[in-house]
Each structure stands twice: as C-alpha cells, then as structure tokens.
Amino acid sequence: MIIDKAEVIVTSPDRNFVTLRITTDDGLVGIGDATLNGRELAVVAYLQEHVAPLLLGADASRIEDMWQFLYRGAYWRRGPVTMAAIAAVDMALWDIKGKAAGMPVYQLLGGASRDGLMAYGHASGKELPEIFDSIRAHQEKGFRSIRVQTGVPGLKAIYGIASQGADVGDGSVRYDHEPARRGARPTQEDWDTRAYLRHIPTVFEAVRNEFGPELPLLHDGHHRMTPLQAAKLAKSLEPYDLFWLEDCTPAENQEALKLVRQASTTPLAIGEIFNTYWDYKDIIANQLIDYVRSAVTHTGGISHMKKLMDYAAMFQIKSGFHGPTDVSPVGMAAAMHLGLAIHNFGIQEYMQHGERTNQVFRQTFTWNDGYLHPGDEPGLGVTLDVDEAGKYPYEQAYLPFNRLADGTVHDW
C-alpha cells in the first residue's frame, strides 16, 4: 500500500469543492475533502506544493503516523488551511483502509452505535409566513429537527435567508443556504444587533405556537454578539426550548462564555471555525458548550475528530458536526461514519447538495425518515467522477460580510 499518486481536483458544480485523491501501487483509491469555503485555492496550493510531494512513496496504511508527520513535522501548526489539508489526507487514507479491509469506515471505528443519524435542515424566511412554509417544506422532506433563521425588520440582507439564495449559474436562484456568491468581490450585507435581539424571540414564540412543543428547533447567531448580548438572547429564548443556540459569540474569548452560561440554560453549540482539539480544550473542560460544531473537513479529519469527541464525552458534550453545502459529499460521508460510530453523537447538520454536485460525487448514503446512514460500501462510500468534475472549472467565490449603519465592519 505505497502511495504512488496524490492529485488535487477542484470542481465547481453548484459551488467550489477541493478533493484530494490518493492512489496506491496496488490500485486502491481514496478521496478526502479539503474544501475551505471562499479560500479554496489556498488549500489547493498547500496540498499541491507542500503535502502531495511528501505523500509519494509513503505507506498508505499508517494513518496516525501520517497525521502526526504532517502536523508536527511542518513546524507551523493549526490554522484552517493546514488542518483542511491534513483532514483531506486523513479521510483519503481512511477511505483506502476501508477498501483494503472490505469494510465501511464506521466499522473500523468500532461499529455502529445507533441505527441512523438524526439530521437537521435549514428553514428560513424574511417573515413568518415564509418561515412557516419553509419549516413545513423541510418536514415534508423528512426533517425532524429544524434550524430557523429569520429576516429582521429594517435590515435588507441577512445571511442564511433562503430568499436571498445564490444564483447557481443556470439562471435559477436556488437556496444553497450558504451563498458564497461567485464574483470578484464579497457581497455586503447589513446588520443591527439590537434590532435582531428584539425580533428573534418573537419569531421563536410564533414558531412554537404554530408547531408545538415537540419539534427540535435550532438557531445560528453567526458570531455576531458580545457575551452580554449573547446572554440576553440565550435567556430570552429559554421559554422556546431550543435544541441549541449556535455561535452566539465569536468564541475567540472563551472565558467570556461563562457570562452566557450563568444567564441561561439554552444549550450552546460552537466550533465550526475551530480547527484542532486544542481550540476546544478550555471550552469543553469548563463545560461552556453542549455541542461540538466542527466539520471533519476543517478539524484535521476523522482521526483528530475521534479524539476530540472522546475528550468531549468526559463532559457529556455531544457532536453536532457541521454539514453545510460547502462541506463536500466526501466530508459529509466522513462525518456520517464518525457520527455513527461514536457514542456521544448529538445531531448532524444536513443541507443537501444540488443535483450537479451529486453527479460529480456518487454517494451511497441513505436518508430515511429524518435519519442519515453512510451505507455499507467499503471505505467512505463516495466516488468522484473525474470526467463530470472536469465540466465545472473553479470560479472565484466569497462569503458575504456585513457592515453596521455607520459603515463599521461587524463580526461575521
């Protein structure tokens, strides 16, 4: 199992994806996701220029050793670019290990701890009727847990609202949930935290009244609040019994989350922009979150995330792995195998990729009655159709950003 090829494939069916494909001398092929939304080519360069040459001639069976070599051997540690590149290598090697063993990756991680993975979808709308329709549409698609994002009176464009969906290139405006819009410059949105804080509880009250107490509801604050504002929001949402409030602050200042904890029992989910378990060390040990939001793609791959989740388990903290459309089907498959295997699985985000993406990445996962399962093909269960991928060259795309009324750039 000597690696004799390591190729980086960039394709942009509905959006940009970066995939590492490793081939061994005995003909096994493994793929890993290295997509870093809006900064895709930085990871491509890291992989092509600095990692691929080191893979050639290496033993593909030594997953842990390769991880440590790429992490410790580089001298420069952590960071989203490095960790996405390492994640791609790690995933591809697990894919190969599964194929060599004739087993799906979750079997190699200890086997299934459950029958399927409860997944949540993204409902959104500018106003209540649209939000209600969106929740119903998701329920019809099988979702049993729903994230709710809303417009705010007075604000023109807010991240995460479907009606502002991305133009996917065929003239239609499909809600890709996460519009890293194609173009030379990022789009500018507006923001007003006080208006948001006033409005959100009214939306969750209305949604609870309409849909009853059972439906698990989630909300993403996208890092926009100060600790005090986050405490106020978490407290005001308490009557609506959220499954979680996500990214209530930019969690660089983790100590400050104590303020939110002291004010409220609304569960907190954080970590989609973290990239190692060291980023989680204090936040977990101090019991400041309830769910780990990392993507397997952005936090060093399956090997590293398994360690992170075992650490989190000591504190009864569960997974809520990131699963937006900017995580490729390969990254999603890695999350599903890991989520199926660990005991402390919580919920899986599931945005659903577009048809073109599904043609490029052939997948074996199943989606039944609100539950995902990665399938039982050896490895990760995803095949990259290189010819199909070749039809969609890279296109520059940026995440939006926002400014306050006076022109100040605000937290993401």
Q: Which residues of 98-125 are buried (b: 16+ CB within 10 A; e: fewer)?
A: bbbeebbbbbbbeebeeebbbbbbbbbb
Confirm if 206 and 129 have CB atoms less than 8 A apart: no
Taking CB positions, which residue lies at the least distance from Co ion? 220
Catalytic residue among 106, 159, 277, 291: 159
Return the structure tokens found at 192. Answer: 């007003």
Among this protein's residues, is 222 annotated catalytic? yes
Q: Let me know: does 234 contact 260? Beta carbons within 8 Å.
A: yes
Q: How far apart are CA 412 and CA 405, in angstroms?
A: 15
326 binds, among Co ion, ligand EZ4, none (CB under 5 to 8 A by kind): ligand EZ4
Position 178 contacts ligand EZ4 (CB under 6 A):
yes
Alpha helical stretches, state H, 180-239: 193-211, 227-237
CA 155 to chain centroid, in Å, comes to 26
Alpha-carbon distance of 22 to 96, in angstroms, equals: 8
Whole-angstrom Cα distance, residue 85 to residue 298? 9
How many residues make contact with ligand EZ4 (CB under 6 A)? 8
Active-site residue, selected from the candidate residues 138, 177, 219, 222: 222
Q: Which of 14, 176, 192, 220 binds Co ion (CB under 5 A)?
A: 220
Q: Which is nearer to ligand EZ4, 37 or 82 (CB)?
A: 37
> Rounded to an integer, what distance in angstroms lies between the CA atom of residue 181 and that of residue 171?
14
- How many angstroms separate the CA atoms of 117 and 371, rounded? 5
Between 67 and 361, CB nearer to ligand EZ4: 361
- Per CB under 6 A, contacts with ligand EZ4 among 16-55 are 37
Say if residues 29 and 21 touch (Cβ distance below 8 Å): yes
Q: What is the x/- site pattern for ligand EZ4, positions 262-291, by CB under 6 A?
A: ----------x-------------------
What is the nearest approach in angstroms of ligand EZ4 to the Cβ of residue 376? Answer: 29
Is 277 catalytic? The answer is no
User: In the window 266-285, what residues touch Co ion (CB under 5 A)?
Assistant: 272
Q: Which of 90, 95, 326, 377 binds ligand EZ4 (CB under 6 A)?
A: 326
Does residue 297 touch ligand EZ4 according to CB under 6 A?
Answer: no
CB nearer to ligand EZ4: pick between 9 and 399 = 399
At closest approach, how far in Å is the CB of 28 from ligand EZ4? 31
14: partner contacted, choices Co ion, ligand EZ4, none (Cβ within 5-8 A by kind): none
Calpha distance 203→398 (Å, rounded): 29
Ranges within 204-223 binding ligand EZ4 (CB under 6 A): 220, 222
Instruction: Scan for tokens 């023109």, then name that residue.
Output: 156
Binding site for ligand EZ4 (CB under 6 A): 37, 178, 220, 222, 272, 324, 326, 399
Binding site for Co ion (CB under 5 A): 220, 272
Residue positions annotated with a catalytic role: 159, 222
